[in-house]
Chains A and B, each alone.
Chain A
Amino acid sequence: MKTAELIEALAADPKPHGPGLRQTCLIAMALGAAASAALFLVLVGPRADFAQAVHTLRFDLKFVDALALLLPSVLLGLHILRPDARVGALALMFAAPLALLGGAVLVELSVIPSAQWGELMLGDNAMHCLRVIPLLSIPPLLALIYAMRGGAPQNPTLAGALAGAASAGIAATLYASNCPDDSPLFVASWYPLATLIVVAAGALLGRRLLRW
């Protein structure tokens, strides 16, 4: 086929189809989050003392941590769908969740006697956390990867990893209301591990499915 012939085919249809890429991705993420919330309610649901827990700082901090991961992941993930995007200083946004987590751990270590550190870190259900967060991440991750196929990322693996991080942020937000362990020592040990599992899955999916 000659290039001039291809151009004829392309020029016949100048208007883009459907809504914009960002909009598509945000809708996909919202649908994935809704499916994930339904899954959460069916499988585990919020913990029994949810109403009292909301008034404790440690419990609330888990949501702040999860949202601090979700927000930069979404912003950067959408940004790098452009082929000419540069990550650059935007990656510094990820200092927010890390600093938050690190700061909370330091405060916790200073107010809790060292004899209890190990117990708090291991918590009651680390394995539950490592299972539920990846499980709840599946719907938003699949929806996001599907929608992101309209993008043109220079690095498809990174785009997939960020979709994974965003999905883990959604899952962690939901799971935090079920998880009985509120100590930052527990949160800083297990939530990031669960997140990394999802990030790795996203990176693998992205490498295969977000190539263009």
Chain B
Amino acid sequence: MSEAPSDEKWAQMMRAAIGGDEAVYRRLLEEIGRSVRAMARGAFSRARVGDADVEDVVQETLLAIHLKRQTWDGGRSLAPWVGAIARHKIIDAMRRRGARRVEPIEDFENVLAAPAGEDPHARSDAERLMKQLAPRQRDIVRSISLDGESISATATRLSMSEGAVRVALHRALKSLAASWREAVQ
């Protein structure tokens, strides 16, 4: 099977990321994003609910992976864990779209081989949800995500400690995930 080596690679990348390697973490999230996108498109088209929410699912999954990475058992492979999170988010999104019944979602392992790129026009709800953040938190998220500023540069600009920026970013991402969840209900 071609999945096995790729998955072992993911587990190694995640271990490096948890150890603090930003570049590896970015690459891992990009790879995971492409696989989750393929999985979500497949699931949505089989359930005939249209794929307007695909990018939301991808982003919610990436956010959950980030916030819940301590629930991954570092001794195991990463793909089943990622697949479980993605499935959870896809089912949420389908319920949101009023799918009468949720079709079984194909195994994540099957889409690892067929990753999908981001639709350049897709915009997620995150933009709208960001408006609910406190101004300082929004500033920090924006400068890091849109302007590509590093945590240390952001810290200098706002005369904060790096630790404080890290905590503020973490809190901002947590409340982003929370308001996404509220939007689902």
Contact = CB atoms under 8 A, between A and B. Distances in A.
A83 B62 contact: no
Contacts of B166: 13, 17
Contacts of B169: 9, 12-13
Interface in B35-75: 55, 58-59, 62-64, 66-73
B18 A1 contact: no
Contact of B63 (A6, A8, A14, A17): A6
A49 interface: no
Contact of B70 (A9, A12, A21): A21
Secondary structure of the A side of the interface? loop
Contacts of A81: 71
Contacts of B80: 84
B144 A1 contact: no
Contacts of B141: 9
A15 B70 contact: no
B10 to A, nearest CB: 14
A68 B129 CA distance: 46
A154 B73 CA distance: 16
Chain B interface residue bracket vs A: 35 or more
A211 B181 contact: yes
B26 A154 contact: no
Interface stretch (B1-9, B94-102, B117-125): B117-125
Interface string B152-180: 00000000000000110110010001000
B84 interface: yes
B83 A84 contact: yes
Interface string B102-145: 00000000000000001000111011001000000000010011
Number of chain A interface residues as a range: 20 to 34
A16 B130 contact: no
Contacts of B20: 14-15
Contacts of B24: 14
B185 to A, nearest CB: 8
A10 B66 contact: yes
Contacts of B33: 3, 7
Interface in A11-30: 11-17, 20-21
A151 interface: yes
25 contacts: A1-B123, A1-B127, A2-B118, A5-B146, A7-B30, A7-B33, A8-B144, A8-B145, A9-B144, A9-B145, A10-B29, A10-B173, A11-B22, A12-B151, A12-B169, A15-B18, A16-B69, A81-B71, A82-B81, A83-B85, A84-B83, A150-B70, A152-B88, A154-B88, A212-B68
Interface of B: 17-26, 29-30, 33, 55, 58-59, 62-64, 66-73, 80-81, 83-85, 88, 118, 122-124, 126-127, 130, 141, 144-146, 148, 150-151, 166-167, 169-170, 173, 177, 181
Going nearest first, the 9 A-B pairs with the smallest beta carbon separation are A11-B26, A1-B126, A84-B84, A9-B145, A83-B84, A14-B25, A5-B145, A152-B68, A14-B17
